[in-house]
Structure 1
Amino acid sequence: MAHPAHTSLKPAPVSPHIYIGASRNKLYLPRGSRKLSPEGWSRTFAGPIKVEWNAIARSKGFDLVHRIRDKSHVVLRCHTCGALTAQKLFTLRTAQPACAACRHRAFLAMAQKAGLEFQGYDPEHHKLGVYRAQCGHPVRRQFGQIERIAAGHCKLRCETCHSGKEAEEAADRGWQLLGIDPEGNPSYRIYQHGCGHRQRVARANMQSGRFQCTECGEGWATAPSNLYAIRLELPTGLNVVKLGFSRDPQSRLHHQLLLQSGIQAELLRVVPQRTGHAALCREKALHRALKKSDPDAIIPHEHFEDWLSVKTEIYGIEIAPLILKHLDDIRKK
């Protein structure tokens, strides 16, 4: 989470150009020159322009306009877009200069294709641009990633929006999101419980509720729990009912029980129990009773092992009414 491309508290983006001369013409600057003082680019250098330099510039797609800043820099006009670009004289003579204006327009077009608004260049990391996402938040991304987003190979995730979602997840369970994991594990965050205790928790566990506060939390045996019945229809056509107990049956269903997608699942009944120990005792008694009354309804593990994360406690759907009656009788007690 500390990758420079994903950090929002950064200096303001850098503009690709400055204004020079009385006519206030735009002068586009190469990537490595944007940190130099703008005042220096306003100075014209009075040295001569050799004829061979003009010829070299034309052969490479530019007109050499004049010298600027010092003996090492010149201003070139691009034959393609007509914009002015500052370049080192050495680069003009020994390599193919790039038009900073054409490059900038390409970034603008790519950002628009990706559904973003390009706002400038990151002043600290030359491969990063600063963009405004559709949600309105600023994001910093590598130019190559913007190309992949524009091509549909990946999607943009706004860190600000994502952090807000994580904060809501934590608040729903009585915790406050404080920030990234101090130990650097990207799967963990640091949270503060309502009791004031701070704790590292995996985000997946915060979503599922499969953890407790190590300062004030109750163990499963003494914490409130529930008996539950869940109907499951596998893509294989197998229709079954799962009988069990859990502190959070919804979490059990959506985050732990199902191994693959495509399973139709419905929580049929939830019966609150005062403690996990009481829930366990009653669950075991129910399984003993069902094993005695309907042994043929027990579904062998090999019939669902690729789909569910349990090995037992799965029954044919035909005894669902009996299981629900047992649970209703417990609720009435």
Structure 2
Amino acid sequence: MGRQRPGAPTLEEVAALAGVGRGTVSRVINDAAGVKDSTRRAVQRAIEELGYVPNLAARSLAGRRADAVALVMTEPDWRQFGEPFFSEIVQSVGDALTDTKVQLLLTLVRTDAERQRLVEYARGGRVDGVMLMSVHAGDALPDMLAEVGLPTVLLGRRSGDESVTYVDADNVGGARSAVAHLLNRGRRAVATITGPLDMYVAQCRLRGYREAMERAGVEARRSWVAEGDFSQDSGHRAMAELLERSPEIDAVFAASDTMAAAALHTLRAAGRRVPEDVAVIGFDDFPLARRTDPQLTTVRQPLEEIGRTMVRLLLEEMEDSAVAWRHVILRTELVLRDSA
């Protein structure tokens, strides 16, 4: 059930100022019939004077819906929205909603002010649920949405103790299988380009790398780890850094296809052959992986299934607010091509 934040005007205060009952205020808010024009104007004046924002509970009591959900990217860098991951997720979520009456709204939230605006927008009943992607550790937005009773589903999670419903890929297992493949092919100086380590997805892929190295009895040297941010520029930068620090490396596991493709270019510019001198594996299996030279061995995460599952869980929570949060982790698959 939604509730007003501390200090916010209440439905009862609007009713008292307008000189009407609580039920009348609810009918005005939900544009119901049977309210005199003079009464409607009095309630609207009271709402404006108090700055009242109708909460989700008041809207649900009248059985009204916005028939809209928001897909929110919580990423401070606008450029990240151009990465293939986001377009793939938008397409899969949109496809999953095709046969419903629900409108999909896309929005980008970068600052605390934008977080608060989104919450106020949601409290006004303009959307029935929210899907969040690219959530960094410590982001309060999922909790803010839970506070107002809005059904919310995360793509990924903020930590291993996530309390909000989420859908995720098996990032640890996927990374572990990629690095194990490199080690099984005789590579021993295996480096990694991580994602931004304030994101749990990047932490998990790094953990999978380390677990595979440990299981094979190979020391994962600190100089073999370079941090990226899933972008092309960071892939170039991290690969150059690895070559400068550790010219002996004979394999690289990159935590995204975008960074892996950039690493291929940097290796070629440095005179390293792929896979003869340095084998490369990415993560995602975007169409990009089939356009690189050589084609990219990668870990496929089921983005279409992720999008469908997010939509299914969100619609179920919208139908029944008593549904407990769910955590869904989907399998990944190592796809072998020419780069490793």
Q: TM-score scaled by structure 2?
A: 0.27
Higher relative contact order (CA 8 A, sep 6+): 2
- Look at both structures and tell me which one has the larger radius of gyration over its CA atoms: 1
- Structure with the higher strand share, 1 or 2: 1
